[in-house]
Amino acid sequence: MQIADRGAGRALLLDALGTIVSLQPPAPMLRTELATRFGFEISEPEAQQALAAEIAYYRAHLDQGRDPASLAALRGSCAEVLRAALPGSERLARIDGHSLTEALLASLRFAPFPDAAAAIRAAKARGERVIVVSNWDISLPDVLARVGLAPLLDGIVTSAGAGARKPDSAIFERALAIAGTGAQHATHVGDNLAEDVAGARAAGITPILVNRTPPTRGTAPAGVRSIASLAELP
């Protein structure tokens, strides 16, 4: 779907995870949380395996976190997926769902990439409106506030809030509406070929692939610029 032009103002659309924020290694933190809170000891591989199951479940269901009640339900379900993937024990079985959910959330800590704030400020100095567009539940504004990026932004669009996830053009349409501009005046920067590059192109938006850890990320297709840092943005 081609998005209609709305005006001449420029917009910079940014993905969240892998583009402006990173997830700190959660396995060591989960081990610490479980041991400190419940005296439940697990190995690093056991923590990694359980978190892989939880993250896969979250990614498949993140759009269910549309409001506070549904977000709490989603987090509770994620905690139960984590429980099922951990080594079974009587001690683990006695942990109530609320407490396990709190331990899980405490293990998931995000940090801004060092180049993120400067890139956002530079875009604003160029007169661009900066909108984050991410496949995430509605907690993303809180995450970006905690890492100090939210005050720099003109808007945050989540797939849960928009009712569509990248690469669907509808989520980009929501971001352009907030920016008050059209697709031809926007650039989208992200680290995922299918969601960010293909999604932006389908919406008529110029994509840029941020490839922070080559060659583990995909290679940009012909005609798409690839950068290693947001400092390379024009």
Query: Which residue type occupies 178?
Result: I
Burial class (CB in 10 A: 0-12, 13-18, 19+), 142: exposed
Nearby residues of 32 by Cβ (< 8 Å), 6 or more positions away: none
Query: Which residue type occupies 76?
Result: G
* Terminal-to-terminal C-alpha distance of the chain: 27
Identify the pLDDT of residue 1: 37
Identify the pLDDT of residue 88: 85
Identify the pLDDT of residue 3: 41
Identify the pLDDT of residue 5: 43
Identify the pLDDT of residue 4: 41
Identify the pLDDT of residue 218: 61
Q: Are strands 206-210 and 110-112 parallel, antiparallel or unpaired?
A: unpaired
Q: Which residues of the chain have pLDDT under 50?
A: 1-7
Q: Which of 104, 60, 63 is nearest to 83 (CA)?
A: 104
Would the pTM of this model clear 0.85, i.e. be above it? Answer: yes
